[in-house]
Amino acid sequence: MRRKRILITSVLAALVGVAVPLAVAYQLSLARAVQGEEARLRVLANYSLERAQRTLDSAGAALRRFEPLAVTPCSAAHIEALRQTTITTRSVDDIGYVEQGMLKCSASGMQATPVKITPADFVLDNGIGVDFDLRPAVSGGERMVGLALGRHKALVAPVRFADVIVERNVQMAVALAHGGVLGVLHQPDMAVVATLLAGSQARDGNLHAVVARGGLIAVMTAPRSTLEARLSSELAVLLPVGLLMAAFIVGLVAWLSRRRLSLLGELTIALERREFFVHYQPIIALDTGVCVGAEALIRWQRPDGSMIRPDLFIPVAEESGLILPITDEVIACVIADLRDALVADRALHVAINLCASDIETGRVLDVLERALAGTGIEAQQIWLEATERGFINANAARATLEKARARGHAVAIDDFGTGYSSLASLQSLPLDALKIDKAFVDTIATDAATSSVTPHIIAMARGLKLLIVAEGIETQEQADYLAARQVEFGQGWLYARALPAPDFLAFYKARRPRQLP
């Protein structure tokens, strides 16, 4: 089941590792393509504004030639001047003269039928009036834009305000900033144009650019299909990067999976081949310097002689359930290595670490009882150490600890202060000893933020009448500090590293109490 879970997790991680970089590469490419296309539309919009402004300026200049009028209105000379101005001004299609609200003459001659001229829809700051939707007979009823100054009025074809060359699928509209469309190109959706001119976002799925300048606004729209070429170009740059990232992630996942699977497989084989053994870290009475016991620490040596660190294989063993037979192996090694010494000296004890599962179920107690039967080793010589993770299920932990103490074992909480325990939980558990974690011992006589925690832990243990064992003592200053506060026991490199059984026994003999004559 554990192997299957690792495989499923690895496959899912690999799929995510492929999908995410590729999706990010695509989205970045798309964003860059959209930015590039919108920038192009803004360039076109700026150009169209230049052309539209030029049309307005040209038509305005043509109208100003007749203000004030130097000839008799609608005389032959006047009509000829209107005709010449229309011919020479590219932006103007016709110019007429208005009198009493009626068109009297134009560049085409005298007006034969009455034509009423309505007031301008809008007046620009330069005094020129604008009509947005004129449909005179001269244009065949087609829409024209009227520009009026004084008594003269010019007709301008709307296309002259959108006089740029763009692709057929790019649409454009040019309008006055105060409203009113002057000209369009390629028949844009006027509802979309109105939305954009109002400053709102159009949700038609197209690309848009809106540029305002000099009282004019240009609106450009283009379908997203215009992105294809630019998107392909961007993908050609970013997609290989995404593929490299995906390959790296897949490789990393595969490497980690193989490592986990291989480590799990090797753990199983190591148990079958009995590749585990135990080293013993001496526990010293701080007031006398006497060695009173040891903590049994599991070690794993591969057939090639290489050592695997416990912090690498213990988590895998705990997750897979292999920690249980490993604990059984530790018990067997302790009895095989130290049986004679334990029988010879009843004051000597060995501490064995228990996993959370054993604390919750109590399984290990029966294993211990069977292993100790007939050895001469007494139960009180085997201390049981449990990390705070084992106390998450407080009721189950309490039942196991009470059963252990009833059988004669002392119980210690290991690595206190790094997990879940609180004063309330300690008070509710049947404990004999508390081990101060090395992380707190390291802060003794320093300015670290946690340096004040150690005295509180000591005081709390004293209040609960627990023995105290300090871990990780490396300096004499730390040892003196702890001894001055009546901490009973300590262990650490100041005294000795974890030792093979023969070396520990030699260390113990050198440090044991002198026998009275």
Taking only the tens of pLDDT, the chain with its 517 residues reads: 455 666 677 778 778 878 888 888 888 988 888 888 889 899 999 999 999 999 999 999 999 999 888 899 999 999 999 999 999 999 999 999 999 889 999 998 998 888 888 888 888 888 999 998 888 887 788 899 999 999 999 999 998 888 888 888 899 999 998 778 988 988 888 889 888 888 888 888 888 999 998 889 999 999 888 888 888 888 888 888 888 888 888 887 776 666 655 677 778 878 888 889 999 999 999 999 999 999 999 999 888 888 888 888 888 888 888 899 999 999 999 999 999 999 999 999 999 999 888 988 999 999 999 999 999 999 999 999 988 776 767 788 889 999 999 999 999 988 776 554 555 567 778 899 999 989 889 888 776 655 678 888 899 889 889 999 999 999 999 999 999 999 999 999 999 999 999 999 999 999 886 543 3
CB 468 within 8 A of CB 455: no
Residues 289 and 265 reside in one and the same domain: no
Backbone angles phi, psi at 177, to 5 degrees: -60, -30
Q: Which residue has the tokens 């197209």?
A: 206
- From the list 201, 221, 277, the residue with the least C-alpha distance to 42 is 221
Residues 311 and 211 reside in one and the same domain: no
The whole domain housing 359 covers 280-510
Q: Is 305 exposed, middle or buried (0-12, 13-18, 19+ CB in 10 A)?
A: exposed
In a domain, 193, yes or no: yes
- From the list 253, 244, 303, 243, the residue with the least C-alpha distance to 276 is 303
CB 241 within 8 A of CB 25: yes
CB 426 within 8 A of CB 461: no
Residues 189 and 322 reside in one and the same domain: no
What is the widest separation between alpha-carbon atoms in the chain?
A: 151
Could you count the other beta carbons within 10 Å of the beta carbon of residue 128?
A: 19
Question: CA-to-CA distance for 96 and 139, rounded, in angstroms?
Answer: 14
Residues 256 and 196 reside in one and the same domain: yes
Q: Which residue has the tokens 């290489």?
A: 306
Residues 192 and 164 reside in one and the same domain: yes
Q: What is the pLDDT of residue 422?
A: 52
Residues 246 and 327 reside in one and the same domain: no
Could you count the other beta carbons within 10 Å of the beta carbon of residue 118?
A: 9
Question: CA-to-CA distance for 63 and 97, rounded, in angstroms?
Answer: 10
Question: CA-to-CA distance for 204 and 353, rounded, in angstroms?
Answer: 68
Task: Give the N- to C-terminal CA distance of the chain in Å, as an integer.
Answer: 62
SS3 state of residue 155:
strand
In a domain, 264, yes or no: yes
Residues 259 and 300 reside in one and the same domain: no
SS3 state of residue 19:
helix
In a domain, 488, yes or no: yes
Residues 257 and 127 reside in one and the same domain: yes
Residues 146 and 292 reside in one and the same domain: no
In a domain, 375, yes or no: yes
- Mark which of 243, 273, 303 sits at the end of a domain: 273
Residue count (the chain): 517
Q: Which tokens hold the place of 19?
A: 């999908």
Number of domains in the chain: 2
CATH number of the domain that residue 375 is part of: 3.20.20.450
In a domain, 517, yes or no: no
Question: CA-to-CA distance for 235 and 415, rounded, in angstroms?
Answer: 53
In a domain, 212, yes or no: yes
Q: Which amino acid is at 28?
A: L
CB 164 within 8 A of CB 47: yes
What HEC string does 248-316 produce? HHHHHHHHHHHHHHHHHHHHHHHHHHCCEEEEEEEEEECCCCCEEEEEEEEEEECCCCCEECHHHHHHH
The separation between CA 190 and the C-alpha centre of its own chain, rounded to angstroms, equals: 42
Residues 250 and 348 reside in one and the same domain: no
Cα-atom radius of gyration of the chain, to the nearest Å? 47
In a domain, 516, yes or no: no
Question: CA-to-CA distance for 156 and 92, rounded, in angstroms?
Answer: 5
CB 66 within 8 A of CB 152: yes
Residues 472 and 500 reside in one and the same domain: yes
Q: What is the pLDDT of residue 400?
A: 92
334-312-275 Cα angle (round to 5): 40
Residues 211 and 298 reside in one and the same domain: no
Q: Is the peptide bond before 158 cis (omega within 30 degrees of 0)?
A: no
Could you count the other beta carbons within 10 Å of the beta carbon of residue 177?
A: 12
Question: CA-to-CA distance for 273 and 146, rounded, in angstroms?
Answer: 100
Backbone angles phi, psi at 93, to 5 degrees: -95, -25
- Mark which of 245, 273, 301 sits at the end of a domain: 273
CB 382 within 8 A of CB 352: yes
pTM attached to this predicted model: 0.53
- Mark which of 239, 273, 307 sits at the end of a domain: 273
In a domain, 104, yes or no: yes
Residue 418 is given by DSSP the state S
Backbone angles phi, psi at 412, to 5 degrees: -125, 145
